[in-house]
């Protein structure tokens, strides 16, 4: 997820605000994976200070989208890609999909996920996901209530169509717009209150550590990081 992609997604969501008949907005990856996450080169000093606020603005734009939103996840959904999915109302996943927050392995943490995941799945599950960085299969998040529906990858598009027909298609687009806004309201208030603090923690503290710089450099140089714990 580069800055260019983030800005294009935000612009697309704003454009969709003029469509009164819209009943569902879906976001999916163009390929076998949903997203490997944020662009690591754009985490370099002098770039991340511009990129992260835009990513967080996209989060808030999704939480104010003009219709219900759904992430359609195939393959891997990692880091900033997982944060994007968490900002959607629904997550539809292939049964082979995996979700993870690997930022801790780079010496940092996922700010938007730290704001979005606890209200959606509970603090205990969110803490394990953020601290471990482990990839979790879609079935586990389905059991936790985060994934709304799951199907074999070859059948996922058809399954989403059936879900839409069963739950949304016969309803008023206006009613769905207001219902989505109402359902998001507690999460939107929580994220609006917490995310600016987490953004400052990331940019002003975490990114100034030796280990954050080392983790990003090691990733780009394709080597193991040498942590100094500072």
Percent of the chain whose predicted confidence (pLDDT) is above 70: 100
**Superfamily of structural domain 3-155+172-219:** 2-enoyl-CoA Hydratase; Chain A, domain 1 (3.90.226.10)
Greatest Cα pair distance in the chain? 58
Q: Is the dihedral of CA 158, 160, 165, 166 positive or negative?
A: positive
**Banded pLDDT at 44 (limits 50, 70, 90):** confident
Buried b (16+ CB within 10 A) or exposed e, 16-29: eeeeeebbbbebbb
pLDDT at 121: 97
**pLDDT of 45 above 80:** no
pLDDT at 10: 96
Residue whose C-alpha is closest to residue 40's, from 225, 204, 216? 216
Q: What is the mean pLDDT of residues 66-89?
A: 98
Q: What is the dihedral of CA 30, 93, 113, 31, to 10 degrees?
A: -10
Task: Give the domain ranges of the chain.
Answer: 3-155+172-219
Q: What is the mean pLDDT of residues 201-222?
A: 95
pLDDT at 46: 79
- Give the catalytic positions in this structure: 83, 103
Rounded to an integer, what distance in angstroms lies between the CA atom of residue 20 and that of residue 43? 38
pLDDT at 3: 95
Q: What's the pTM? A: 0.96
Rounded to an integer, what distance in angstroms lies between the CA atom of residue 160 and that of residue 141? 17
Share the mean pLDDT of the chain: 96
Q: What is the mean pLDDT of residues 69-76?
A: 98
């Amino acid at each position: 997820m580069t800055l260019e992609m983030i800005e294009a997604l935000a612009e697309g969501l704003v454009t969709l605000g003029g469509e009164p008949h819209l009943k569902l907005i879906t976001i999916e990856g163009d390929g076998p994976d949903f997203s490997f996450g944020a662009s690591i080169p754009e985490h370099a000093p002098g770039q991340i200070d511009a990129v992260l606020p835009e990513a967080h603005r996209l989060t808030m734009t999704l939480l104010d989208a003009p219709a219900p939103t759904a992430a359609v996840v195939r393959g891997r959904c990692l880091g900033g890609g997982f944060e994007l999915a968490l900002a959607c109302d629904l997550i539809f996943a292939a049964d082979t999909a995996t979700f993870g927050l690997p930022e801790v392995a780079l010496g940092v943490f996922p700010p938007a996920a730290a704001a979005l995941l606890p209200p959606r799945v509970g603090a205990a599950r969110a803490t394990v996901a953020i601290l471990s960085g482990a990839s979790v299969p879609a079935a586990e998040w389905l059991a936790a209530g985060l994934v709304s529906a799951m199907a074999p990858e070859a059948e996922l598009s058809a399954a989403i169509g059936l879900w839409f027909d069963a739950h949304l298609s016969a309803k008023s687009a206006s009613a769905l717009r207001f219902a989505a806004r109402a359902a998001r309201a507690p999460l939107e208030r929580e994220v609006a209150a917490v995310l600016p603090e987490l953004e400052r923690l990331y940019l002003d503290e975490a990114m100034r550590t030796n280990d954050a710089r080392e983790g990003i450099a090691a990733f780009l140089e394709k080597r193991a990081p040498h942590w100094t714990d500072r």
